[in-house]
Amino acid sequence: MRARLSVFVVLVVAIGVLALVDRSSPVSRTVAAVRPVGPEIPHRGAVGSTWYCAAGSAPASTHASNELVIANPTGNRISAQVTAVTSKAAPPATVAIAARSTVLVPSVADASDIVELSRPGAVVSHRLVAGNLGDEAPCASAGSAQVYFPAAATQTTLGADAQLWLFNPFPSDASLDVTVVTSGGIRTPSALSGMVVPGSSTTMVDLGKIEQRRDQFALSVVTRSGLIVAEISQASGTPAGLELVPGLQRTATRLVFADGESGTGLAERYVVFNPSAQNASVLLAVVPYNAAASELSEPFELDVPGRSFVTTDMEHQTRVIQGQPHWVRVESTNGVGIVAERLAGATATGNPYGVGSGSATSLGQSASSDTWFAPWADHSAASTSSVIIANPSVDTIAEARVTSFGAGKKSTGAGTLKAEIGPGHSAAVDLGAAGTDPRGLIITSSSPVVVERRVLFAGGEDFSVIAAVPAAPLFVLPAMSHTTKPGG
């Protein structure tokens, strides 16, 4: 696995007290009102925080188990009330999370979970594991009246199957419609029209019975009343893999994928979904790590009609340098909101990731931040990770720090990893093996960045790309029109 790609990464020993955010010398920039498409860490002044984890299992063929991961990077002990919800909510269990520590909490089979924290600052994710396959995703930090999924598959002849989890953690009932978008059109199945999810309950929809033998379709979940949290658990057959896909709670006009690569034995596809009735004019730019402006290719111009999606296969594009890591910018130039998803698969040995098989999915981030958090407690101690950091700025160098914490202490020995990332560039920082003790990660930067974590499973049978969770305040992504070419 290649690490510290095209960037000067220095290993230093961490000293002093672990600081969550150093804002004593903030970079001069404008903070705009921006909301992420996924979860966020609230301001420190918040009383507490609540997280909602929808998917309680994966398709039956996988026999997947579900586990919560709670990472507390703060200097305070936090108490968590964990409530498992099936057709009704079970009595809550109390879990203590010491300062600068991460805990693993097994979940009840086929249950969604509510995690109520006594203090803000911690991040909650959950993971599905089935043998040597698995995936992890941050839980939602709020409910929503609409949820979007750009990509799902139920091609059962190839081993693909999917479940849609509709979680209502609130007391009042939620009424909703699920619209299925295929290449042939849109429809709202009668079973999913005006569907009621009672308060404090969760419902699983077998998508293989709703949309049979489809290798690509999109979903819109819109409530008539109430709020919902939704996720898809997806099993892939060719290549084999397990994916956990959080629903996107809003559309955006600018998105960034920090991680990306295609090449021999590594497939990569981007799906841009437009859930509105208006047509969207979209640019999709592939930006190689540390590339000079003169080396950048023109972005793909995509016309995405209303209530439809467009897919772009990277390995089939001559303008994409194969075998070279890149990050991706997506922008709707006419102001119509979109969502997007990256699908990656290891199709043969000898691929750049060094795994024999596996599949992963990631979702475009709609905002940048100078502080990101992530649990770091992989299912196998021998799994290896990299933090991928993209700097979307057009004129500012980002000086990033990656610090781990665990067992009440800051990282020791290996210390804090540093990366200097030029404007429009990206970097991969090698974290090494997960180890046996659960830990967490704090990624801080002198200017706003976008962060993901890539996990290569021990044994090389699967991999994951996991979004880090940004802390407020959040910053608007710069427009592509600020430069003659993206990343310049």
DSSP string, 84-143: EESSSBPPPEEEEE-TTEEEEEEPPTT-EEEEEESSS--EEEEEEEETTEEEEEEPBSS-
In sign, the C-alpha dihedral spanning 262, 263, 266, 269 is positive
Q: What is the pLDDT of residues 103-142, one digit of tens each?
A: 999 999 899 999 999 999 999 999 999 988 999 999 999 9
Assign 75 to helix, strand or coil: coil
Contacts (Cβ under 8 Å, ≥6 apart) of 453: 374, 376, 385, 386, 387, 388, 431, 441, 465, 466, 467, 468
pLDDT in tens, 149-165: 999 999 866 678 999 99
**Number of Cβ atoms within 10 Å of the Cβ of 437:** 12
What stretch of H or E contains 449?
strand 439-456
Model confidence at 483, pLDDT cuts 50, 70, 90, reads very low
Contact between 458 and 485 under an 8 Å Cβ cutoff? The reply is: no
**Multiple choice CATH, 49-130, 1.10.3290.10, 3.40.1190.20, 3.40.190.80, 2.60.290.11:** 2.60.290.11
> How confident is the model at residue 44, as a pLDDT?
67
pLDDT above 90: residue 18: no
Domain map (residue ranges) of the chain? 9-42+142-482, 49-130
In this predicted structure, the answer to whether residue 1 has a pLDDT above a threshold of 50 is: no
Q: What pLDDT is recorded for position 426? A: 95
Look at the block and give the residue holding tokens 């993209």: 390
Q: Which candidate, 310, 226, 233, 207, places its Cα nearest to that of 62? A: 233
For the ranges 63-67, 208-212, 247-251, the maximum mean pLDDT occurs at 247-251
Q: Which of 389, 158, 177, 184 is nearest to 307 (CA)?
A: 184
Q: 0.75 exceeded by the pTM?
A: yes
DSSP, residue by residue, 191-250:
GGSSEEE-TTEEEEEEHHHHSTT-S-EEEEEEEEES-BEEEEEEEEETTEEEEEEEPB-S
pLDDT, position 25: 33
In this predicted structure, the answer to whether residue 35 has a pLDDT above a threshold of 90 is no
Q: Please give the residue that has the higher pLDDT: either 294 or 189.
A: 189
**Structure confidence at residue 212 (pLDDT):** 84
Q: With a cut of 70, say whether residue 2 has pLDDT above it.
A: no
CB burial of 276-305 (b: ≥16 within 10 Å; e: otherwise) equals eeeebebbbbbbbbbbeeeebbebbebebe
Task: Using the structure block, give the residue that is written with the tokens 């057709």.
Answer: 87
3-state helix, strand, coil in the chain (%, to 5): 5, 50, 45
Residue-wise pLDDT tens digits, 362-380: 999 999 999 999 999 998 9
Give the per-residue pLDDT at 392. 95
Give the mean model confidence (pLDDT) for residues 233-244: 88
pLDDT value of position 272: 98
Work out the pLDDT band at 412, boundaries 50, 70, 90: low
Instruction: Give pLDDT, residue 349.
Output: 87
Residue 32 pLDDT > 90: no
